[in-house]
Structure 1
Amino acid sequence: MSKFDEIRYFYDHEVNEALGSIARDPMMKALMNFTFPDTDEQVWLEQFKNVHSISDFQHQFVAFAVRQILAKSSDGLTTSGFDKLDKNTPYLFISNHRDIVLDTSLLNLVLLEGGYIMTASAIGDNLVRKKFLNVLAKLNRNFLVQRGLPLREQLTSSQTMSEYIREQLYNEKRSVWIAQREGRTKDGNDSTQQGVLKMLAMAAGDLSLTDYFKTLKIVPISISYEYDPTDSLKMPQLLARHRDEEYIKGKNEDFTNILSGILGQKKRIHIHAGDILDTELDEIAVTIDNKNKQLQAIAQVIDRSIISHYKLWPTKYIAYDLLHNTNKYTSEYTEQEKQLFIRRLEMRIDPSDPVSRKYFLAMYANPLVNKLKVDNNRQ
């Protein structure tokens, strides 16, 4: 038994049996009907029998599903920065996190279509408690982040995950995707949690922190949706925080978020691959000798990359102007775009509630605010 068995995705020799175990699940039928609307059930059930690796499953089914999601719920996906990457090199992609399933699914579609190494991707085990979702996640090369453990077990789990990520990058030559923070960004402020970097550093062995991070080939990823399909679903947690109340998730809340993210309107989407962290790590090694301060500095480097390359769609400028009651950015959007956004706001929250209105608008405006701060600090 491998020490990674509790968290790992399926080995290829396990794939066919695992897929067979969920082939007739009603949720699989719904997924396949969505992906191949004109195909009879018996056709894809028969095709499943020929799937013997994760690569087979991703090429023959997952890629088609993601393309359908884009076709039905977006105005298209654009990218930048990927031409700087080597197609035969595994990278550690550290990404801002807006959507449970789509962030990594869209990145992997870009990698697949560009001929790059696709990722093993971290997903919270709280999101895949249902058997169908657990199996589907592991069939799609997701490994599990164990949530809600007691402190001692959490440390052991973090060590295991750190070693697993190292194993993927070093030995399996497999790229890895992790979010810059635990859980999605709810308020539009993309920031890297030092705890994520601390976890990664646990497998450094004899290498210094910065030398080890150089070997991981860290690439910050900025993903930006014109409309956040789960914007209204993020509001209860933001309002609870505003009232200084504990927020308790509803029973099927995560699943509702997954479905809304997949099916909800996103309009345009952009993914940018930043530069590999390299000279910045050398500079941090020379100027900072305290490990915690080094982690803080690395987090800031990742944040600067993600924020400065975040695509600012018209919705960000509209939200800023509405929030601050100004016409500062009217050149960045049309009157029609503004009216569409206002209609969305009115349909998704109670616009007469000033607190809800403020938090909804800030969710969209904060990427612009943060980008302005980054640009000012560079001057």
Structure 2
Amino acid sequence: MNPTAFDDIRPYHDEELPAVYEELIADPAFQKAVSSIMPGVPFEAIAQKMRSCRTKLEFQKAFCYGLLWNIVKECASGLTIDHSALPDKEKPYTYISNHRDIILDSGFLSILLLDLDMSTVEIAIGDNLLIYPWIKKVVRINKSFIVQRALTMRQMLEASALMSNYMHYTIRDKKQSIWIAQREGRAKDSNDRTQDSVLKMLAMGGEGSVLERLAEMNIAPLSLSYEYDPCDYLKAQEFQLKRDVEGYKKSTQDDLLNMKTGLFGFKGRVHFQVAELINDDLLKLDASLPKTELFACVSALIDRKIHANYRLYPGNYVACDLLDGTTTFAGNYSAEEKQTFEDYIAGQLDKISIPNKDVEFLREKLLVMYANPVINYLAASR
């Protein structure tokens, strides 16, 4: 496939950046957004710094790297990665991970990779999040490619095939790593499961059998473990609204609030654990299985790797015991840690302001979010 076929979805080429910078610099909405993110910094100084970035990587190092580590400093208790399962720093990988934060999952991965002297990832991002024209431009400067949503069935098939071919081209020809979530949207209850549709999309491109096409992508399951999810109360609130309001759907303003809360809310400790490639496991599967069964087997394989590599925190164990009314996991937390977590949950509940607020229901939803990683970890470790 001719690489120009990807022009509408790919990140910008480095030679396109100067023109895009000028469009952004002239955009009042972009100026306003930058002023809120970097208050006190003259916009002209930011514009000059942008113009000096000749490549996407230079832009990321000049702007994103410092901003993201600053978020860690202000809004987390640390950010770590263990990449030792994949020692080859030159090889391109497709990191498939559970999805916790709209922006930070891929952003944190990129700055962690930079600190390992590795290249940043290209990022799959849904066009539903590209609310303003300037956001679409910024994400494409930031090495994102666009996942098209809200299409007819026929358009969806065409868009999926195009994206799959682009991802294979990126791994095979550009030798560039990719990050993609294991499912569309975040798992609201933290019960992380790979959607077969993501794997079906990946297997549309490339050559050979389904398993050979997947192996070509060098899939590395990645486990993201946030001690606290700043958006947990918004997710719980959404559960009640979906229960109580027929046809409830989040608005654009809701998406913006989720992005802002995820960015600037407190996250506690954050750890990224990379698993070995699944290539050898793929070759052990029965290639003669019906495709539906084959994709289900690969999804289950990725899930096991993600679940087995969670880093669990005291709050996860406390949530399990509070849900069941037991002390099964009491050896994994102190009385003080239990109190801290209970106080945290009470504080998050207080943030919810909706009609007919069902505190018991909301509390249970919050506890389930923190308990599910333990449940899945134990099942994967058997």
The separation in 2 between residues aligned to 1:268 and 1:161, in whole angstroms, is: 34
The separation in 2 between residues aligned to 1:204 and 1:3, in whole angstroms, is: 15
Q: CA deviation at 1:240?
A: 4.3
SS of 1:262 mapped into structure 2: helix
The separation in 1 between residues aligned to 2:248 and 2:276, in whole angstroms, is: 37
Query: AA paired with 2:238?
Result: Q
Question: Which residue number corresponds to residue 342 of structure 2?
Answer: 342
Q: Does 1:329 align with 2:347?
A: no
The separation in 1 between residues aligned to 2:197 and 2:46, in whole angstroms, is: 42
SS of 1:219 mapped into structure 2: strand
Q: What TM-score comes out, normalization by structure 1 length? A: 0.93
Q: CA deviation at 1:115?
A: 1.3
Question: Which residue number corresponds to residue 211 of structure 1?
Answer: 212
Contact 1:225–1:266 (8 Å) recurs in 2: yes
The separation in 2 between residues aligned to 1:217 and 1:133, in whole angstroms, is: 30
Equivalent residue pairs, number: 370
Q: CA deviation at 1:280?
A: 1.0
The separation in 2 between residues aligned to 1:19 and 1:341, in whole angstroms, is: 45
Q: CA deviation at 1:357?
A: 1.2
Contact 1:86–1:116 (8 Å) recurs in 2: no
Query: Pairwise mapping of residues 256-267 of structure 1 onto structure 2 (< 5 A)?
Result: 256-267=257-268
When residues 243 and 40 of structure 1 are mapped into structure 2, their CA distance, relative to the original with a 3 A threshold, is closer
Gaps of 5+ in 2: 351-356
The separation in 2 between residues aligned to 1:224 and 1:331, in whole angstroms, is: 20
Contact 1:187–1:238 (8 Å) recurs in 2: no
From 55, 58, 66, the counterpart of 1:56: 58
Q: CA deviation at 1:123?
A: 0.4
From 134, 138, 148, the counterpart of 1:136: 138
- Deviation sequence 1:187-245 (CA, Å, 0-9, x none): 0100000000000000133x011122112110000001000011011113322455594
SS of 1:178 mapped into structure 2: strand
SS of 1:190 mapped into structure 2: coil
The separation in 2 between residues aligned to 1:108 and 1:309, in whole angstroms, is: 19
Question: Which residue number corresponds to residue 308 of structure 1?
Answer: 308
Question: Which residue number corresponds to residue 185 of structure 1?
Answer: 187
Question: Which residue number corresponds to residue 222 of structure 2?
Answer: 221
Q: CA deviation at 1:253?
A: 1.1
Q: What TM-score comes out, normalization by structure 2 length? A: 0.92
Q: CA deviation at 1:336?
A: 2.5
Once the two structures are overlaid, the 10-residue window that deviates more, 358-367 or 234-243, is 234-243
SS of 2:106 mapped into structure 1: helix
From 116, 122, 125, the counterpart of 1:123: 125
Contact 2:148–2:159 (8 Å) recurs in 1: yes
Q: CA deviation at 1:153?
A: 0.5
Once the two structures are overlaid, the 10-residue window that deviates more, 2-11 or 89-98, is 2-11
Query: Pairwise mapping of residues 43-82 of structure 1 onto structure 2 (< 5 A)?
Result: 43-82=45-84
SS of 2:223 mapped into structure 1: strand
Q: CA deviation at 1:175?
A: 0.6
Gaps of 5+ in 1: none
From 372, 379, 382, the counterpart of 1:373: 379
The separation in 1 between residues aligned to 2:328 and 2:193, in whole angstroms, is: 26
- Deviation sequence 1:162-192 (CA, Å, 0-9, x none): 0110111111111111100000110010000
SS of 1:25 mapped into structure 2: helix
- Deviation sequence 1:325-377 (CA, Å, 0-9, x none): 1122222122222222222211222697221111110011011011112223x
Question: Which residue number corresponds to residue 231 of structure 2?
Answer: 230
Contact 1:19–1:139 (8 Å) recurs in 2: no
Contact 1:54–1:139 (8 Å) recurs in 2: yes
The separation in 2 between residues aligned to 1:213 and 1:14, in whole angstroms, is: 32
Contact 1:319–1:364 (8 Å) recurs in 2: yes
Q: CA deviation at 1:47?
A: 1.5
Query: AA paired with 1:75?
Result: S
Query: AA paired with 1:197?
Result: L
The two structures, once aligned, show a CA RMSD in angstroms of 1.9
Question: Which residue number corresponds to residue 32 of structure 1?
Answer: 38
From 96, 99, 119, the counterpart of 1:97: 99
SS of 1:252 mapped into structure 2: helix
SS of 1:167 mapped into structure 2: helix
The separation in 1 between residues aligned to 2:247 and 2:374, in whole angstroms, is: 29
Contact 2:85–2:276 (8 Å) recurs in 1: no
Q: How many percent identity over aligned positions?
A: 34
